[in-house]
Amino acid sequence: MISMMLIVGCQSMPDPSSETSAPAIMIPVFDNDSFEPGAEGKLTRAVREEFLTRPGYRIARHRGQAGAVLEGRILSISLEPLSFDRSHRVAEYRVTVSGEFRLVSPADQVILWKNDGLTGSAEYPVNPDPAVSRSAQDLAISEALKRLAEEIWVEIDQIRAHPDLFPAPKAPDHEPAPPAAHPRKPTEGMSAP
């Protein structure tokens, strides 16, 4: 039991100084122009997860904390038949999620990066049972959204090395002055120096 506690206690902790120097990015909920309800929330969660689980970024909660804001829109979620059975019925579909995304400076809305044609796709087999087939389609949509999230991360990570393209949040113009030292008043019964 004690050896387990020692092993757990010796695990390395993240260096807080490296965390604060990492670029902060705000990722608000994306827009959704597709007919798939809730896809915007799933994609937003998947993108945030990419930035949280990979090194080099922090997620900002507010625009004032962010060096950049990632905005986006799901344009469509489409189905494409991939294969057919002997009766010429679709046996397998490909789901493709298309979107447009941009990284903007929160202060002046200058576009730092933009891609209007990112996609993620996944395949699923058709089942004679409509409920099973819809479940497989939902899983494929989730996988396509995850792949799209990975593509977004890869593209943005390529510009991270350029500080002029991915600026750090602006520091305040001046540091607050430390409080002035007040001379101590002599207490009763004691004489002042």
What per-residue confidence (pLDDT) applies to 160?
Answer: 76
What per-residue confidence (pLDDT) applies to 2?
Answer: 44
pTM, full prediction:
0.74
Tens digits of per-residue pLDDT, 43-58? 999 999 999 999 888 9
Domain over 21-159 is classified CATH 3.30.160.150: yes
Please answer whether residues 113 and 151 qualify as being in contact, where contact means their C-beta atoms are separated by less than 8 angstroms: no
